[in-house]
Chains A and B, each alone.
Chain A
Amino acid sequence: MRIQVASENSFIIYFNDVIAASTSAQIGACTAYLRQSMGPVLVDLVPSYASLLVIYHQHLADHYAVKQMLRAAIEQVADESVSEGKLVHLPVYYSEESGPDLAMMAQRANLSIEATIDLHQSMAYQVYAIGFAPGFAYLGEVDKRLAAPRIATPRLKVPKGAVAIADRQTAVYPSQSPGGWNLIGLCPTPMFNPAEQPPMPVNVGDQIKFEAISRAEFLQQGGDEQLLLEPIV
């Protein structure tokens, strides 16, 4: 555990040098604790894989005082047996029509399409970081056999809800955007909804488990039929 200056009004806490689910849960707990304990001194928090950036109001507290707050939070979180964060189930319509890279992924893994889908939905993934775009959660780690490099030419339009893999990370695209990850299905649950409170179903430190659904269920649960009618290229 190391607290390092990041700027005139921020510290970064390093919890670990490597990715670990237990570290992620600890960061999630520390984030929640600081949001409560720092009050108006807190400006913003950026939890990530193994670190937590804490931005503070430098006119309300000096860096000594803030460092004390951070030490107290770290101790507090270490004392409590850190809960694992919540487990959120997300439905996915896995298919070749909703996941244009699914067949290629199966071939690469030397598995049938069904076995590839089962492998992806068999485990709970840790939410390690949220960033890149609003609501984009980096989840890990997928089975080694599913690890695949980003596609050579990124797509200009990855649809909202696309379930994707890059290396040993997986994610659900929260909105339509360019992207280079391999697409294996579509999730009808919005990952980012500014009108909802909270706007995201998960925080850093939580876990996600995917569950295969049929085409009919995808449409029933609010999936966009248009995405299935116009093939994703």
Chain B
Amino acid sequence: MSLLVKQPGLLSLLQDSGRYGAHNIGLTTGGPLDREAFDWANRLLGNDTDACAIELSFGGLQLQAQVDTYIAVTGAKLPLTIDGQEVDQWTSHKVKAGSRINLGFATQGCRAYVAVAGGLQTPMSFGSRSTVAREKMGGINGGKLVDGDLLDCCETTHLQTYTLLEEQRPQYPEDVDLRVVLGYQEDLFNEQTKQMFFTSTYTMTDRADRMGMRLEGPNVACGSSQMLSEGICHGAIQIPADGQPIVLLNDRQTIGGYPKIGSVIARDTARLAQLRPGNSVQFNAIDIHQAHNINALAVYRYNNTQLTAIDE
């Protein structure tokens, strides 16, 4: 019982909530770049919060169900059809064995998520199904999906379907604010440099992947270069000698030796991951109290947002 990959698209990866507890042996986290969209996809199907789904970058995925099940597609806006019928994103849908599920290319945002009732049941490594291609970990054979891959899932014949109302859905603008908790080597950056960093606009370059996003804008090098390699957390903003920031994401190396000014909160790296080359960002400094407040409110809001049941 599975989904068959008829066409993998540009970059489709199996991701659950990520691989934790193995940083000490050099394994990175992996997991969805946009955790918010990933969470909604699973919630629309009543799945566990860490159920394995497909993350598509840009789109172009075609699947064929080999079993009766339900799916939901969230994240980047793209054309979605089931057996040729256009259907809504942010909504759970029944698919029958033999059904063709086609996802076109994204017109807004960049990463979309396809969740399946019960989650995909591929093998785990180090407690996770998340694919990290650089490490050849997780997924089907440690890499992106290819034609003919069979993604195990269970049969689900009866499930209440839901939708997230349009006004409740996240938007994916081409210009985003990234909230930054100052930290790490922030003391190495003088006031003038910090002011420049937090008042300028930076542009997404095409050197952007699941390891990190390189941005282009005013030079904010701190003048210090030799540093002992140290642990790099999710969202860390590394400033190499060229003064151009790199925001490190899910597939980052676990250690590195470039100065870091602080870290973007995960809620905002999710928005960053939806940008394309040429889009722009501004950095805003917040303190750790504000970060915790933002996150607590967001959790409250997520838990109190009701899905709308669909009558069949």
Contacts and interface: CB of A to CB of B under 8 A. Distances in A.
B231 A194 contact: no
Interface in A20-56: 31, 43-53, 55
Interface stretch (B21-29, B52-60, B100-108, B205-213): B21-29
A52 B229 CA distance: 11
B277 interface: no
Given A5-B181, A134-B25, A204-B24, A194 B233 contact: no
Contact of A5 (B21, B126, B182, B228): B182
B200 interface: no
Contact of B26 (A4, A58, A63, A133): A133
Contacts of B228: 19, 48-51
Contacts of A48: 228-231, 255
Interface string B109-139: 0000000000000000110000000111100
Contacts of B183: 4-7, 12
Interface in B245-271: 253-256, 260, 262-263, 265-266
A138 B26 CA distance: 11
Given A44-B20, A130-B25, A194-B126, A8 B265 contact: yes
A10 interface: yes
Contact of A131 (B26, B126, B181): B26
A49 B181 contact: no
A129 B181 contact: no
A200 B262 CA distance: 31
A84 B99 CA distance: 61
A120 B232 CA distance: 31
Which bracket fits the contact residues of A? Answer: 35 or more
A199 B230 contact: no
A134 B299 CA distance: 33
Interface stretch (B7-15, B66-74, B287-295): B287-295
**Prevailing SS type, chain B contact patch:** mixed
Nearest to B179: A8
Given A6-B183, A43-B20, A58-B295, A51 B230 contact: yes
Given A44-B21, A131-B229, A134-B137, A7 B262 contact: yes
A129 B255 contact: yes
B139 to A, nearest CB: 14
Interface string B218-245: 0000000000111111111000000000
A38 B1 CA distance: 40
Nearest to B25: A200
B189 interface: no
B184 interface: yes
Contacts of B299: 59
Interface string A44-87: 11111111110100110011000000000000000000000000
Contacts of A52: 231
A164 to B, nearest CB: 16
Interface in A101-151: 129-136, 138
A67 to B, nearest CB: 10
Contacts of B288: 5, 8, 63
A7 B235 contact: yes
Given A7-B183, A12-B184, A58-B295, A132 B21 contact: no
Contacts of A46: 23-24, 230-232, 254-255
Contacts of A135: 25-26
B27 A47 contact: no
Given A19-B228, A48-B255, A49-B229, A132 B26 contact: yes
Given A8-B288, A48-B255, A63-B288, 7 more contacts: A8-B292, A46-B23, A53-B23, A53-B230, A53-B233, A59-B295, A138-B229
Interface of B: 20-27, 29, 125-126, 134-137, 181-184, 228-236, 253-256, 260, 262-263, 265-266, 288, 291-292, 295-296, 299
Interface of A: 4-10, 12, 19, 31, 43-53, 55, 58-59, 62-63, 129-136, 138, 175, 192, 194, 198-200, 203-204
Q: List the 6 closest A-B pairs by CB distance, nearest first.
A: A53-B231, A46-B231, A7-B263, A131-B255, A5-B183, A8-B291
8 contacts: A5-B182, A8-B266, A8-B288, A46-B230, A58-B292, A59-B296, A62-B292, A138-B229
